[in-house]
Amino acid sequence: MGDQAGRGQGGRVFVVGLGAVTCLGSTLEETWAGLIAGRSGLKRHESMPRDRFLQDIAGVVETFQPGPAEMIGEAAKLEVRSIHFALEAAREAWRDAGLHERQTPSRDSFDPDRVGVLVGSALGGMDLFENEVAKAAKRTTLAVSPYLIPGLIINQEAGQIARQLGVFGPGFAPANACASGGHAVALGGMMIRAGEIDLALCGASESALTPMIVNGFATMKALYAGKPGDRAESDPSQASRPFSGDRAGFVLAEGAGMIVLASETAVERMGLRPHAELLAWAVNSDGHHMAMPHGARIEACLRTALDRSGLEPEAIGHYNAHGTSTKVNDRVETQAIKAVFGSAVSNLAVASIKGALGHALGAASAIEAAVAVRSLSQGIVPPTLNYQPDPELDLDFVPHQARRIDLSAVMSASFGFGGTNNALIFGRIAS
């Protein structure tokens, strides 16, 4: 991405629409209300029996029902939850921006050829795949669903959104593990600044609560695995506890997050009302390990985003953390934050919403970016739930209760397996 992330090159980029589907609600508004109230969407699920799953605590989207009546073409036949989450969150973000699906172009509207859809996922349609494998084991023929391949292709989310909205600009599907959604936002900002598009619908969606995926994460000791007597045994909502002294692994979740970006000229021409400005972004790679984070490379990513924003560290009032609730990640991220923010870290509110939402893999960074923008516009930082102090991690983690803070800029960061890092900086719109 290089110097194209410099704010002065190609004009300003604004956030004009937000949407989300999470275990706290099927809209961003429901999710936000749950977060600032200190609610958790994590619980045990009968649909994940322990004779098939090594972990039955998860962040399941229970309230969501796909709406075939609102879909066009064959989307309703794609039995992939992540695609339906993506469509729902995209529609919410699009409408939040004041835009309309399949709009007839006019002078004051958007050009559908200059609208990009950049929506990623870490794992794509694994639910469809495992269901088809189970069905195939019982068949006497080799036939499988004709929707298997379309459902597995990760760019299907972006493709179905483009079809639903009636837009025809560039389509990309970042598959960058847990940073997929953040990378999508960065790519959208880059393309707008480069003048290639006017609008970008960016984000990610994920639903991988299948036996193979849950058990795979559990076997590699990434998932929550409390010892006998652990507090989550009686209260599963306490299983995810970012930055806590007794953190014991992340809790897998599902959901989607979407952000609509617009160029400065599109905002002015169409009369859009921005939530925030996307000031800067940075992405890099660890080049280190298949799963373990590399502190120096994470630090470099955060520092690059800060440098590109033109802001001093003191200007960032809130850092929306990756904060997975794993021993290593939370320690490495804390050290990187302290190195980048220096003395300003004493006034930095660091919080992870994974205590409430769990870890939605590729979608997590998109959901968290949308929540970070809402924090900025509302002046409220959601809490880090289930926190108990860790002497090694000595930042202000906004424990237990939401906090009102006068924010002018926020940073949201995410890091994925394979060593892929992302940081986004959003600035408040002056009134």
Instruction: Please indicate, yes or no, if residue 37 is contained in any of the structural domains.
Output: yes
331 shares a domain with 285: yes
Is residue 7 assigned to a domain?
Answer: no
pLDDT for the residue numbered 428: 97
In a domain, 19, yes or no: yes
Domain ends where: 230, 249, 270? 270
> Would the pLDDT of 72 be above 70?
no
Give yes or no for a contact between 129 and 152, defined as CB atoms under 8 angstroms apart: yes
φ/ψ (deg, to 5) at 211: -55, -45
Position 2 scores a pLDDT of: 36
Mean pLDDT of 43-63: 95
Q: How many domains does the chain have?
A: 2
Are both 298 and 258 inside the same structural domain?
A: no
Domain assignment present for 4? no
| Domain match, 283 and 134 both | no
6 within domain boundaries:
no
Which pLDDT belongs to residue 431? 65
Catalytic residue status for 301? no
Tell whether 233 and 288 lie within a shared domain.
no
Strand duo 420-427 + 318-320: pairing: unpaired
Q: What mean pLDDT is predicted for residues 257-286? A: 96
Q: Is 45 a catalytic residue?
A: no
Active site residue 178: yes
In angstroms, what CA-CA distances link 345 with 33, 59, 141, 316, 393? 27, 31, 62, 9, 12
Range with lowest mean pLDDT among 133-147, 255-269, 368-382: 133-147
Q: How far apart are CA 244 and CA 393, in angstroms?
A: 8
pLDDT at residue 320 tops 90: yes
Q: Is 306 found in the same domain as 206?
A: no
174 with 320, same domain: the answer is no
CB atoms within 10 A of CB 420: 23
Residues 203 and 348 in one domain: no
Q: Are residue 356 and residue 252 in the same domain, yes or no?
A: no
Give the per-residue pLDDT at 7: 42
Is 119 part of a structural domain of the chain? yes
Residue 5 included in any domain: no
Between these two residues, 369 and 293, which has the higher pLDDT value?
A: 369
Inform me whether the pLDDT recorded for 69 exceeds 60: no
pLDDT 10s digits, 13-23: 999 999 999 99
Where a domain ends, among 226, 252, 270? 270
- Let me know whether 40 and 166 are in one domain: yes
Tokens of 11: 């004009």
* Listed range (337-351, 371-385, 417-431) with the worst mean pLDDT: 417-431
Mean pLDDT, rounded, for 231-243: 97
The span from the CA of 30 to the CA of 420, in Å, is 30
Mean pLDDT of 24-40: 97
Smallest CA-to-CA distance from 12 within 324, 309, 321 is with 309
Q: Is residue 298 part of a domain?
A: yes
Share of the chain above pLDDT 90, in %: 82
We report the CATH number of the domain holding residue 353 as 3.40.47.10
Residues 370 and 405 both lie in one domain: yes
Mean pLDDT of 103-108: 58
Is pLDDT of 105 > 80?
no
- Among 148, 129, 149, residue whose Cα is nearest residue 213: 129
Q: Are residues 36 and 101 in the same domain?
A: yes
Predicted structure pTM score = 0.94
Domain edge (last residue) among 246, 270, 294: 270
pLDDT tier for residue 350 given thresholds of 50, 70 and 90: very high
- Closest to 161 in 3D by CA, of 79, 101, 97, 81: 101
Tell me which residue has tokens 């993506």: 86
- Whether residue 9 has pLDDT greater than 50: no
**Are residue 218 and residue 319 in the same domain, yes or no?**
no
Q: Which domain holds residue 260?
A: 13-270
247: left (phi over 0), alpha (psi -120 to 50) or beta: beta
- 135 is written with which tokens? 């069905």
Q: Which letter does DSSP use for residue 21 in this model?
A: E
Kindly report the number of other CB atoms within 10 A of residue 395's CB atom: 19
Given 23, 178, 202, 301, the catalytic residue: 178
